[in-house]
């Protein structure tokens, strides 16, 4: 019994779509998460948050008097708060992108079924 060329093409398309979904939620997801992780690590390095926290009690410009230490502390505290908020913003954006990554194939499949059958 011979299989028609149209049926072969349909079966090939279904095979490719199913493989794509497997890749998207396995290897693709792992690569995407590694990119997000590396992005967040780079952003933390750009912001220098660990360095600001590490040096919070170090006086700025080598000034050792009491007033300079207080000013330096509050200035660094302000910087730490702002930089932490920026890092939280990037974490939030990354989380949104992760949710979008998970939902895109489902949305595409839903739209295909909706267009074909409704």
- State the pLDDT at residue 93: 98
Question: In which domain, by residue range, is 99 found?
Answer: 21-117
Mean pLDDT of 41-50: 95
Number of domains the chain is built from = 1
Q: Which of 1-5, 18-22, 60-64, 96-100 is the most confident on average?
A: 96-100
Residue 5, in any domain of the structure: no
Model pTM? 0.80
Residue 1, in any domain of the structure: no
Mean pLDDT of 6-30: 89
Backbone angles phi, psi at 23, to 5 degrees: -65, -45
Residue 89, in any domain of the structure: yes
């Amino acid at each position: 019994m011979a299989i028609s060329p149209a049926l072969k093409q349909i079966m090939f398309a279904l095979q490719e779509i199913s493989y794509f979904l497997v890749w998207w939620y396995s290897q693709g997801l792992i690569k995407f998460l590694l990119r997000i992780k590396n992005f967040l690590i780079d952003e933390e390095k750009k912001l220098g948050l660990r360095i600001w926290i590490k040096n919070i009690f170090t006086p700025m410009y080598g000034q050792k008097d009491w007033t300079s230490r207080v000013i330096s502390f509050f200035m660094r505290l302000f910087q730490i708060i702002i930089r932490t908020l920026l890092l939280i913003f990037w974490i939030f954006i990354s989380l949104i992108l992760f949710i979008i990554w998970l939902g895109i194939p489902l949305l595409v499949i839903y739209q295909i079924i909706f267009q074909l059958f409704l």
